[in-house]
Amino acid sequence: MAHDVMTRVPAPAPAGAGARSPRPRKRGSWAAWAFLAPIVIYLLAFYAYPLYRNLDLSLRHYTVRSFVQGDAPFSGLDNYRTVFDDAAFGPALVHTLAFTFVSIAFQFAIGLALAVFFAQNFRLSGTLRALFLVPWLLPLIVSASTWSWMLNSDSGIVNHALGLVGVDPVNWLTSPDWALTSVIIANIWIGIPFNLVVLYSGLQAIPAEVYEAAAIDGANSWQRFWRVTFPLLRPVSAITLLLGLVYTLKVFDLIWIMTKGGPADASTTFATWSYRFSFGSLLPEFGPGAAVGNLLIIMALFFGLLYIRFQKRLDS
């Protein structure tokens, strides 16, 4: 029992707090909340309040002037209606889902293949695996600007390489047909390390005896992967995928830096759309911006709760 200590040792409760309580356990609780006071205040001031402000923004009609003075009239769900009726709504939703799911699918598949590869014993395996972390640690603006230059239509190395195998140059970032693909490619690259590391640690947890048994039964390496590794890795895989969903849904910097959501909304997602409403022009529309943001929160929370449910199930 964790509370055993507290029943024997008088807890140094903050001034008078719970001092008269007959149950020492309660005093332990007071001490604990003294340690937790900073985080509780912090969460209220720097999470709850900004989120409340954002909700409030989405329910009022703001102009630049009323934003400063704070006297914007209440407008109910008008901003949400504006957003739903906007021509950009459908495409933004499709792009958000495509960006998220395509990125995740590739990150996961490549990350898993690499994890299986690096789980084998060979020289330099550890060092090379560590080097794979680099793309994940770089500031996003660095990765985004590097990819922008690599994908440059005229002088980019990617088009040059395509030219060597006889493929015509592609207007990666400037053509509406390719902009979304371009940001997805860059995002896959950024996400591979995370998937690799998490799946690798999952592989380490699978006991070697299982493989030995499978080998004795005559399973070849392909069968060992599909019949042993993959099923045993399922819990870790599910968590990797769900966390990936939550994180990828939020991606903003990468898209904004590479394409600004363009050309012609071709790579607009909810995150960049929301930003463009609020900060993207000289005439900010904070109401609709906040409304889009809140829709994005709902999507993130949906996957977030799925993640938490899953983890709870694993714990029990």
Partner 1 sequence: MIKQHAKTGLGLIFTAIMLFPVYWMINVSLTKDTDMRADPPHLFPFDGTLEGYRAVIDQQMPYLGTSLFIGLGTVILTLLISAPAGFALAKLRPKGGGTLSFVLLIAQMIPGIIMAMGFYAIYLRLGVLNTVGGLILADSTIAVPFGVLIFTAFMSGIPDELINAALIDGASKWRTFVSVILPISRNAIVTVSLFAFLWAWSDFVFATTLDGGGDAQPITLGIYHYIGNNNQQWNAIMATAVVASIPATLLLILAQRYVAAGVTAGAVKD
By CB under 8 A, tell whether 83 contacts partner 1: no
Check binding of 54 to partner 1 (CB under 8 A): yes
- Least Cβ distance, residue 154 to partner 1 (angstroms): 7
If one asks whether residue 291 binds partner 1 (CB under 8 A), the answer comes out as: no
Give the three-class secondary structure for 250: coil
Work out whether 263 is an interface residue with partner 1 (CB under 8 A): no
Residue with tokens 């190395």: 157
- b/e sequence 103-125, b meaning 16+ C-beta within 10 Å: bbebbbebbbebbbebbeeeeee
Least distance from C-beta 96 to partner 1, angstroms?
A: 11
**168 lies in the binding site for partner 1 (CB under 8 A):** no
Given candidates 19, 52, 213, 309, which one binds partner 1 under the rule CB under 8 A? 52
Tell whether residue 238 is a contact of partner 1 (CB under 8 A). no
Find the DSSP H helices in 18-62.
24-43, 49-58
Say whether residue 243 binds partner 1 (CB under 8 A).
yes
Window 177 to 206, contacts with partner 1 (CB under 8 A):
189, 192-194, 197-198, 201-202
* CA proximity to 192, closest of 244, 140, 145, 235: 244
How far are the Cα atoms of 118, 124, 195, 212, 223 from residue 121, in angstroms, in the given order?
7, 9, 20, 15, 20
Which residues between 92 and 151 bind partner 1 (CB under 8 A)? 114, 117-118, 120, 122-125, 128, 130-143, 145-150
Contact 183, 151 (CB under 8 A): no
Minimum distance, C-beta of residue 259 to partner 1, in the bound complex (Å): 12
Question: DSSP H helical segments within 217-251, as ranges?
Answer: 221-223, 230-232, 234-249
Contact pick of 24, 57, 95, 188 for partner 1 (by CB under 8 A):
57
304 part of the interface to partner 1, by CB under 8 A: yes
